[in-house]
Structure 1
C-alpha cells in the first residue's frame, strides 16, 4: 500500500513540474508573444490566415465570436456525420466496414464535436482507419482548441477595459492547434510508440491463440496519434472498444503514466497560464489548491474503497481486482478513474462498473460537480471561474456589497449567464435520467437491476450531460433511444454554457476596472478557499444526493 501512495505522489510531482513551464508557454502563445516555436510555426500560421481570408484578421465582438463557434461546430458536425454515414465508400477501409446507422452516426458526431467522446460502439469493429484518423482525431484537436479559445475570451473580458472586442476565433483556434496541441501530441505519440502502442495503416493481423490454438485477428490502426490527442485534449475516445485498458492503446506502466499525465497536463497548465495572464498568481493558486484538494481526496477515497471496501462477495478487506488490468493494479486504476472524471476526459484503463459502490460513486460525483475540478481543456477552468463568481456573489449578499472579481463588478446579467453555465449540465443530467427511466424498454438496456442498475443509468447520463464520455459497462449504449437522447444532451450541454460564457465575457469587457478597496473581498485567502469549496459541495450535494441515495449509496449498504 505504501508503494501505491509513493507512486501517486511521484505522479503529482511530475505533473506539476511539467505543467508550470507549459502554462507560461501557453500564455505566451495566447497573448501573441514570441515563443520557442515562433520561427517554425509562424509561417504555417500565416498561411492558414491567408487561406481563411479577411475573417481571420478582424477582432470580434462577443456575438460574432459566439456565432463563429456555433457555425464552425455545426459544419464540423455535418461533415463528420456524413463521413460516418458514407464510411463504406471512403478510402482506408481495409476491413470493408459499412457506414454507421443514422442514430449511431448522429450520436458519434455529436460526441466528438462536443469534446465528450462518448462511444456507443467498439472502434475496431465499427470504424475504418479513415473515420478514426480523419474524422475523430481531427475533431479531438478542434474541440479541445475551441474550449481553450473560449476560456481566453472570458479572461480577456476580465482584463480589458470598456471594450466590445474579445479577439478573433479563427486566430485563437489556429494558435492553440499549431503551437500547443500538435507539438504536445507529437511528443506523446513518439513516447507511446516506444512503448508498443500501434501506429499503422495496415489491416488486421492473423495469428494463433496461445490458449486455444485457434486463429484470431489482431486489430491495428493509427492508434498512437489518436491516443495522444485523446488524452491531451481531454477527449477520451479510444481507438478500441475497451479504451486504454486494451494493450494496443496502453501496453505498459510507462505508457499508462504518460497517458495519465496527459489527461491532467493542459487543465493544470491552464491554471498556471491564468495566473500569469491576470498578473496575479495568487488567483491561480486559489484554483490550484481547490482543484488538487478535491482530486487528491477523491483519489484517496477510491483507492481505499478498492483496497478495503465491501465487495460484491460481501467480504470486507479483500482487494477488488475485478475489472482491472493486472499490469496496473488498484493504485493506477484508482488514479486514472478520478483523473478521467475530474478532467472531463472519459477514457478508462479499468471497467468502472466493477468498482465498489463508493469507488463508483466518487468518480460520478466529480462529474456532477460540473467537470470543474481541472475539467476539460478550457471548459473546466471557465466553469471553475463561474463557481468563484457565484461564491463571491453569495458573499456580497451576506455583507451588502456589490461583488467584484478581478476588478470587475459582478452584476445581475453576469449571474444569469453564470447560472446557465452551472445549471444546464445539472438539469440535463436529472432530466435525462428521468426520461431514460420512463422509457418502457429501459430495463432491457441494463445488465443489472436494483441500485446498481440505477447507478449505471445515473452514471451514463451524468457523463453525457457533463461532456465526459466514460460509462459503466453494464449500460447498453448502442440503442436508438439512447443514441438520440444522448446526442441531444451532449450538444445542449456543450454549447449552451459555452455561449453563455462568451456573452458573460462580452458584458465584462464593457466595464471599467474597479480599484481595489478595503471593502473588496479577498479571493486568495484561506477563508475564501473554504467558502468556494463549500459552494461547490453544496450545489453538488443538494442537487444529486437524492439520486445518489437510490444508486451507489443504497448499493453500499446492501453489500456491506
Structure 2
C-alpha cells in the first residue's frame, strides 16, 4: 500500500479507537459524575468565585443564551482594544504595528465565533501578546462556548419534562479544565519534542542554502497550535498555517495535529449517546457523518494523487500527484486527507493551499462547509445536525400521517419554523454575499480596483474564490482560496457580518428548540413511535441534508468548480 495512503488509514483508525472512550469521558464531565479529574474542582471553584457565579444554579434556555451572548460580547471589546493598541503593549520584539479598525473588527469577530478567518499573516499581523491574550484565549473560550451549548441541549434532550437546561458557566469551565486543557498539554508536549518553537525571542537570522540570509519568526507557537486544532479553531500562528515547518515540523506532528482536529467533534457524538443513554442513537448519527467524511476523503485523495489532466496533456509526468501548493514532506494524499478533515469541522487549518487543489477537491471542501453537519465544530456540529433531525422527523410524521415526535416530545409549528430559519440562513448568507461580490466585481470595477483588485484568478476559479470565502465564514471554518485579496474594507466588514449571523443565530435557534421541546409533556414510546436510531431514519436525515445542499449550492457550483473541472479536459 502507498505509504501516504497508509498514513491516512492510520489516522482514521486512531480517530475511531480514541473518540469512543473520549466521548464517554465527556458525558461524565457534563453529567457531573465523579472521576479521576476531580482534582480540578478547587481550580473550577476558584473561577466560579472570581466571576461571581453559582455553578449549581439551573438556567432556562433564555437565561442560558443570555449568559452565552453576554460573555462573547465582553470578550469582543477586549479583543478590539488589544488588537488596535498591540504595538504599544509588551511582548512585541519584532515591532509589529497595530491592526486597522476594519481588520481588527474582522479578526476579533472571526476568532470570537470560532472561525479564525485570517485577513492578515500571523508573523506580522499580531504580536506575541495578542497571540496569547486574544487569539489563544479566544480559542479556548469559543470552543468551550460551543461545547457548553451542546451540553445544554443534551441535558434538555435527556429530561422528560423540564424548564431548565443546566448552567452555562458550569459547562463552559468544565469544557476548558477537563477536556480542552489536558488534551492541549498533551499535543503541545509532542510539538515541543518535535521542534515547534516555544519562547519569546524575536526573529532569528538563518543562512539559506543559496548563501543568503532569512529572518524566521519564532515565539510561543507550541502553546497556541494545540488549541487551534483541538478547539476546531484553525488560525495559523504562521501565515501559511500548518504547512509551515515550524508549526508542523514532521509527519508525526502532522498526524497529531490532523487527528486533533476531528477527535473532539467525533467524541461529542459518542458523548450524546452516553449522556442520553441511547448509544444506538449516537452510533446512527456517527455512522451518517462518518460515511460522508470517508466519501469526501476518497474523492479528494483520488483527484490529488492522480494529478492535473491539463499537465498530463502537456506530456509532463506527475509521479507524486498534483503537487502545486503542497508540502513535499507530506505529499498529495496527506494534503487531501487534511483538506477534508479540516472542512468537515469548523477548523479551517491547512497543511497545503486549498486554492491549488483540483476543482472537484475544492467542490468537496466547499460542500463540507456548505452542508456544515458532518461532525462540525466542537459542540455545534451536532447542533447543526439536530436542526435537520427536527426537519426529518417533521417530514416523516407528515408522510405517515402521525404527529411528529422526537424523544417523546411533539415537534410542532414553532420548532419547525425555527429549524427552517436556521437551515435556510446558511445558504442565504453564502449566496447573497457571493452574489454581491460578483456583481461589484463585474459592474463596479473602479471600486474593486480601489481595493486592490480582489481576484488573482479570473473566470470559474475567481467565482470559486469568492464563493469559498463566504462559505468559510458562514461555516465558521476560516480556510480560504488564497488567490483572493481579502484584507480590504469590503471583505473585512461583509465577512464579519456573515460571521456574526452564522454563529449566533443558529446557536440561539438550536438552544431554543431544545428548550421548547424540554418544556413539553413527555409521551412514552409506543408501537407507532418513529424510531430515530435506525439506519432508515439515518438515511432519511442524510437525504434531507443532501437535498437542501443540492438545491441551494449545485447551481453556483455548476458555474465554478464543476465548470473549471470540465475545462481541464478541453
SS at match of 2:491: helix
Give the Cα–Cα distance (whole angstroms) in 1 for the partners of residues 4 and 53 of structure 2: 55
Q: CA deviation at 1:165?
A: 1.2
Q: CA deviation at 1:194?
A: 1.1
Give the secondary-structure state (helix, strand or coil) at the position aligned to 2:111.
Answer: helix
The question of whether the paired residues in 2 share the 8 Å contact of 1:456 and 1:474 is answered with yes
Query: 1:322-361, aligned counterparts within 5 Å?
Result: 322-361=324-363
- Is the CA contact 1:343–1:375 (under 8 Å) kept in the aligned structure 2? yes
1:492 positional shift: 0.9
Counterpart-to-counterpart distance in 1, 2:313 and 2:347: 32
**Where does 1:72-151 land on structure 2 (aligned, <5 Å)?**
72-151=71-150
Equivalents in 1 of 2:151, 2:30: separation in Å?
A: 8
Cα offset, 1:484, TM superposition? 0.5
Unaligned runs of 5+ in 2: none
The aligned runs of 1:450-461 (5 Å cut-off) are: 450-461=459-470
Residues 169-180 of structure 1 aligned to structure 2 (within 5 Å):
169-180=168-179
Q: Judge which range, 314-323 or 535-544, deviates more.
A: 314-323
**Any unmatched runs of 5+ in structure 1?**
none
The DSSP-based 3-state class of the residue aligned with 1:221 is coil
Q: Determine if contact 1:61/1:164 at 8 Å carries over to the other structure.
A: yes
SS at match of 2:81: helix
Map Cα deviations across residues 280-312 of structure 1 (whole Å, 9 max, x no partner): 111011111111100000000001111225445
Aligned residue number for residue 247 of structure 2: 249
**Matching residue of 2:421:** 420
* Corresponding position of 1:8: 8
The offset of 1:471, in angstroms, is 0.1
Counterpart for residue 50 of structure 1:
49
1:138-180 deviation line (CA, Å, top 9, x unaligned): 0000000000111111112212233211111111111111111
Let me know the Cα RMSD of the aligned residues. 1.4
Any conservation in 1 of the 2:301–2:333 contact (CA below 8 Å)?
A: yes
Using the size of structure 1 for normalisation, the TM-score is 0.97
**Residue 536 of structure 1 is aligned with which of 509, 534, 545?**
545
Q: Judging changes above 3 Å, is the alpha-carbon distance between structure 1 residues 408 and 283 closer, same or farther for their aligned structure 2 residues?
A: same
CA contact (8 A) 2:152 2:167 kept: no
Residue 446 of structure 1 is matched in structure 2 by 455
Aligned partners of 2:343 and 2:365 also within 8 Å: yes
Specify the alignment match of 2:379 in structure 1. Answer: 378
8 Å contact kept, 2:87–2:96: yes
Are the counterparts in 2 of residues 310 and 556 from structure 1 also a CA contact under 8 Å?
no
How many residue pairs align between the two structures? Answer: 557
| 8 Å Cα contact 1:345/1:468 also seen in 2 | yes
Cα deviation for residue 459 of structure 1 reads: 0.8
Aligned to 1:512: 521
Q: Does 1:187 align with 2:180?
A: no
Shift of 1:57: 4.2
Deviation at 1:55, TM superposition (A): 5.0
Cross-structure match for 1:60: 59
Q: Measure the CA separation in 2 of the matches of 1:421 and 1:247.
A: 40
Separation in structure 2 between the aligned mates of residue 171 and residue 530 of structure 1, nearest angstrom: 35
Q: Distance in 2 between matches of 1:549 and 1:522?
A: 37
1:524 positional shift: 2.1
Partner of 2:225: 227
Can you list the C-alpha shifts for 1:405-449, whole angstroms capped at 9, x where unaligned?
222221111112212321222211011111212222447100000
* Deviation of the 1:394 alpha carbon: 1.0
* TM-score normalised by structure 2 residue count: 0.95
Looking at structure 2, the residues matched to 29 and 526 of structure 1 have their Cα atoms a distance apart, in angstroms, of 29
SS at match of 1:313: helix
Counterpart for residue 484 of structure 1: 493
8 Å Cα contact 2:305/2:333 also seen in 1: no
Deviation readout 1:48-70 (Å, 9 max, x if unpaired): 11112245442111111111111
1:410 aligns with 2:398: no
What CA deviation, in whole Å up to 9, does each residue of 1:348-396 have, x standing for no partner?
0000111111111111111110x21000000001111221221111111
What are the superposed Cα offsets for residues 218-249 of structure 1, whole Å, 9 maximum, x if unpaired? 10011111110000000000101100000110
Residue 291 of structure 1 corresponds to 289
What SS does the corresponding residue of 1:163 show, helix, strand or coil? coil
Rounded Cα–Cα distance in structure 2 between residues aligned with 1:271 and 1:47: 30
> Where do residues 6-45 of structure 1 align in structure 2 (5 Å cutoff)?
6-38=6-38, 40-45=39-44
* SS of 2:214 mapped into structure 1: strand
How big is each residue's C-alpha offset from its partner over 1:466-500, in whole Å with a ceiling of 9 and x where there is no partner?
Answer: 11100001111111110011111101110001111
Q: How far apart, CA to CA, are the structure 2 residues paired with 1:281 and 1:312?
A: 49
Q: Is the 8 A contact 1:49 1:57 kept in 2?
A: no
Aligned to 2:257: 259
* Deviation of the 1:511 alpha carbon: 1.3
